[in-house]
Amino acid sequence: MNPINFRASAPHAIQQAIGGAIKAHVLQTSTISDFSSASGITRSSLYRLFKGESVGIDVLVIALQTLNRLDLLEALAAPPKQNPVDLAQSSILQVSKPIKRPTQRPTGFILDGIATAQKPKWGNKIK
């Protein structure tokens, strides 16, 4: 069996490759009749699965469960990873907080360490 390029193949070709692989696993362990009895999947549904024809997702899950290969679905069922760009933007947004500006301007002035309410004029020192 030749490996298939899943990214470049048509959906029907992918279905046929998956069905053929499941059939190979089934035939390694038992006959189709025995597998049908053990899984509860009808033989006609199994043959449709093996040919890559449309079957319900329940048939695929039950077949993989009977083969003890549900690990093949774990990556599909895992929560999606966050896009690296979104992750970077969210961390930047969390780190940079808005700068709080004072709501009122100070009314007094400080000249040479002395507080005053008057604005000093250039050249004059407040006593």
pLDDT at position 103 = 64
Q: What fold is seen in the domain 11-77? A: 434 Repressor (Amino-terminal Domain) (1.10.260)
Residue type, 13: A
Residue 93 pLDDT exceeds 60? no
What tens digit of pLDDT does each residue of 47-69 get? 999 999 999 999 999 999 999 99
Give this prediction's pTM.
0.59
Phi, psi of 95, deg, nearest 5: -75, -45
CA neighbor of 52 nearest in space, from 86, 82, 89, 22? 22
